[in-house]
Structure 1
Amino acid sequence: MTEVLREIGMIARALDSISNVEFKQYALTKGQYLYLVRICEHPGIIQEQLSKLVMVDRTTVIRAVQRLADHALIEKRPDETNKKIRRLYPTEKARLIYQRITAEEAYSNRVALAGMTPDQVAQLTTLLHQARTNVTADWERVKHGGHRDY
């Protein structure tokens, strides 16, 4: 049995742990920086779209978004056509933090990919994208009450 997913998991947990420590000064804990990044990159996004981008359930997104709003990092604004929908926008404070987060992300990429050739990085990117695409189908099915056949 290959241990690819275990390796990916260890990398993800290590980087997440580092980020949680480094971003604690901005009141970003437990991976909340992920939500902030996506909102900065997609101003006006709604929570359902954010859930799909980060691949977590809606309840988790709701809690994270509320915490970001409580810390004045995002604003919730009503949609112009459907007042029930709240669109999410980064504040100026969030935009400044976003610059720090993307610098950390670039550093982490350099560290993780050190010693790899550009072709290897491209191949790894392609393979990981394919793996994510494969998993996304199961994630969607299970999220909507389906089950996987083992």
Structure 2
Amino acid sequence: MKDLKLKGSILRDVGSLARAVNTINDIKYITLDLHKNQYIFLTRICENEGISLKALSIMLKVDKTTTTKAVQKLIRDGYVTKEKDEVDARVFRLFSTRKSKAVYNMIIDEENRAIDKCFEGFTTAEINTVQKLLQKMNANLAPDWYETKNYKGGVHDSE
């Protein structure tokens, strides 16, 4: 067996950070009946009224089955509505409800609190650098993700 060495822990660190934030938020939002990162789906729908299931999956880099299950629960709980697209009946559009709009600001406040906590002691320049580097890493990996998920490389609303 060859002794391989990991080139760096950045992906493990980012994953650990994301899991910590999601665990904290899942516990905080249980009283809202939001479980298993559903708040992530809810915020993106509130911010992108009329988004398709496929576009939401691509935005969040999750498979369509995960998106469908999360959205179905959000619909059952009155957070989201789903309507057929006026042009393409195969596509469903997602919309926030009064209920989701009522909790959206609370979720964003908590997200901002977590951002502030993560960046304690950072300069503005360091924060901007981290943001730019993570965006660049995401852009570098995106083609592999699209290929793995058999997407042609972008959001096309015919599903």
Under TM normalisation by the shorter chain, which class is it? over 0.9
Partner residue of 2:99 out of 75, 93, 103: 93
CA distance in 1, matches of 2:133, 2:90: 40
1:56-85 deviations in Å (ceiling 9; x for gaps): 000110101000000010011122222332
The letter of the residue matching 1:28 is L
Q: Could you tell me how far apart the structure 2 residues matched to 1:3 and 1:44 are?
A: 38
CA RMSD, 1 decimal: 1.1
SS of the equivalent of 1:43 reads coil
* Residue in structure 2 matched with residue 82 of structure 1 by the alignment: 88
Structure 2 residue 143 is matched with structure 1 residue 137: yes
The residue number in structure 2 matching 1:72 is 78
Alignment length (residue pairs): 145
Matched, 1:28 2:34: yes
| Aligned-partner Cα distance in 2 for 1:104–1:138 | 32
Deviations 1:10-38 (A, max 9, x none): 10000000010011111111111110000
Distance in 2 (CA, whole Å) between partners of 1:82 and 1:9 is: 37
Q: Which residue of 1 aligns with 2:130?
A: 124
Residue in 2 aligned with 1:43?
49
Unmatched segments (≥5 aa) in structure 1: 146-150
Deviation at 1:86, TM superposition (A): 1.6
Structure 2 segments unaligned to the other structure (5+ residues): 1-6, 152-159
More helix per residue: 1
Q: Secondary structure at the match of 1:76?
A: strand
- Provide the TM-score with structure 1 as the length reference: 0.93
**Given residue 133 of structure 2, which amino acid in structure 1 is its aligned partner?**
L
Higher relative contact order (CA 8 A, sep 6+): 2
- Could you state the TM-score of these two structures normalised by the residue count of structure 2? 0.88
